[in-house]
Structure 1
Amino acid sequence: MNPTRDAVRLGDEVAEALSVGRPVVALESTIISHGMPYPDNVAMAREVEGIVREGGAVPATIAVLDGVPRVGLGDDELELLAGGGGGRGVLKASVRDLPYVMARGLHGATTVAATMRLASLAGIEVFVTGGLGGVHRGAAESFDVSADLTELAATPVTVVCAGVKSILDIGLTLETLETNGVPVLVDGSDEFPAFYSRSSGFAAPSRVDGADEVAAVVSAARSLGLTSGVVVAHPVPVADEIPASAIGAVIDRALGELGERGITGKDVTPYLLSRIVELTDGASLATNIALVRANARLGAAVAVALVPHPASGLAR
């Protein structure tokens, strides 16, 4: 069985781009369905697709609709995922959920892990998201570790993000990525970013400056036969960041409410992100949108840089 042909349906624009070797950038759908309120979510999705196009690449938003993994969505499908088109029944789908969502003919918004898996099946090398999942605080007791880390260890997709979500244990997440042999690059900074903030208190595992340097590292990883993903952490723009000192108290308050409200498992991250928006009077949402825009610009540039040069056969 050919999983690309049989399990994944490519949108017409994406299929054409892949067939002729044009750069394509994958985009997740959980950020649309579960990461932001309507209508900010659908406006952000459309804008990010536009930014990828402006950067010279083809956007491929990924989701499961009526049980079919879709790589490249139309405007009406984005609206459905956002909740404005009858999409209230959209499930949050990680890798383990994909078989169930497919078999039952359901709608599923793909997490970072699931988006990586489907992007890889489609032959897409670059994926843009907001922030990575990772090791949750208190994981020594809860064993709550995101499937994003497992997928990064096994799937050769380059993930452009704003670092690890600030609600997580960033130090343990970086240690896990190191253990799993996942290259972690930070663009333009010697410090690893923390989603809302440019500062996390942890040094950049490896610094790069610009898309060409990112592409050179990715190309070297592939030449070695590494089958892991590559993390490219792109700090939130200075003008849009929330300093770590300011967001830390907000996160601690939101985390403290989890136990009181009995929130566990896959409901934790959506609750925390929504609650942080409330506690910051919308400032965290504005920062989230700004960092996704910035990541889309870098991701498009990386995808373009990875396209082989016609004369030499090497990435530009």
Structure 2
Amino acid sequence: IRKLGTASNVLKVGTAEIAYATAMKRDAATTVSATMAISRISGISVFATGGIGGVHRDIDWDVSQDIIELSRTRMIVVSAGVKSILDVPKTLEFLETFGVTIVGYRTDSFPLFHCSKSPYKINLTISTPEEAAQILKEKERLGIEGGVLVANPIPEEDSMDFDELRTLIESALKSAETNGISGKALTPYLLGRLAELSSGKTLDANISLLINNAALGGRIAASLGAEQ
């Protein structure tokens, strides 16, 4: 991790770029899609992340590889929803279209990364790690491909206000447009800008949700392991 954080010319790779990075012997940081692909190859069934990628706002056809990989790789991904900088309604529509199972962990409100609640509802909910594990086992038993996205809200005490965050995001998006930021550079730029605009509040929230997701992912993995 230290090397990736300090080295120069580190690639950001999705599933499509993994082979290039290994063939060229390049240092690379993996997106959710690449992490899923590598996990599948390694026999790992559960992993936790901050938030998945999706459809960017006001940009035609900028759709993350994360959605495609979730649609074809049978595993559990624990996340605090999707990154709040994205077009959430379009992202949810894409996830539904590609047959991704979305379950809310003790919530029926789709979390937005830094926010525990949003106006977007989740139809399927679970209340225990064991239930998440059972859903994955059933997909395997029935021969149904595709992942299970477990939407795990950030702890309420660390959640940001939805309206406050929306205002910050609009400002960050305008800054990105002014500076000509797009493509793979857009997400890290926006997250960095949000940290600046919020005086570090989004970064603190990010740390909290990562710890929370890792804890739930560990409990789900333990449940899967105990039943094998």
AA partner of residue 40 (structure 2): S
Q: 1:156: how far off?
A: 1.2
Indicate whether 1:145 and 2:145 are aligned: no
AA partner of residue 180 (structure 2): G
Match of 1:241 in 2: 159
Residues 75 and 136 of structure 2 are in contact (CA less than 8 Å); yes or no, is this contact kept in structure 1? Answer: no
Match of 1:282 in 2: 200
Q: 1:88: how far off?
A: 2.2
Q: Counterparts in 2 of 1:113-124, with a 5 A limit? A: 113-124=33-44
Match of 1:161 in 2: 79
AA partner of residue 138 (structure 1): D
Match of 2:12 in 1: 92
SS of residue matched to 2:117: coil
Which stretch of the first structure deviates more once superposed, 278-287 or 174-183? 174-183
Q: Distance in 2 between matches of 1:205 and 1:252?
A: 28
Residues 74 and 136 of structure 2 are in contact (CA less than 8 Å); yes or no, is this contact kept in structure 1? Answer: no
Q: Distance in 1 between matches of 2:176 and 2:5?
A: 25
Structure 2: segments with no counterpart, 5+ residues: none
Match of 1:232 in 2: 150
User: 1:74-99: CA deviations, max 9, x gaps?
Assistant: xxxx221221xxx2222111111112
SS of residue matched to 1:160: strand
Q: 1:230: how far off?
A: 0.8
Aligned identity (percent) is: 40
Q: Which 4+ stretches in 1 moved above 2 angstroms?
A: none
TM-score by length of 2: 0.97
Structure 1: segments with no counterpart, 5+ residues: 1-77
TM-score by length of 1: 0.70
Q: Distance in 2 between matches of 1:290 and 1:245?
A: 20
Q: Distance in 2 between matches of 1:147 and 1:166?
A: 17
Q: Counterparts in 2 of 1:32-181, with a 5 A limit? A: 78-83=1-6, 87-139=7-59, 142-181=60-99
User: 1:198-248: CA deviations, max 9, x gaps?
Assistant: 112111131111201111211112211111011001000001011111111
Indicate whether 1:193 and 2:115 are aligned: no
Q: 1:131: how far off?
A: 0.4
Higher alpha-carbon Rg: 1
Q: Distance in 2 between matches of 1:279 and 1:91?
A: 27
SS of residue matched to 1:127: strand
Indicate whether 1:223 and 2:146 are aligned: no
Q: Distance in 1 between matches of 2:20 and 2:214?
A: 30
Q: Distance in 1 between matches of 2:61 and 2:98?
A: 17
Q: CA RMSD in A?
A: 1.1
AA partner of residue 81 (structure 1): L
Q: 1:308: how far off?
A: 4.5
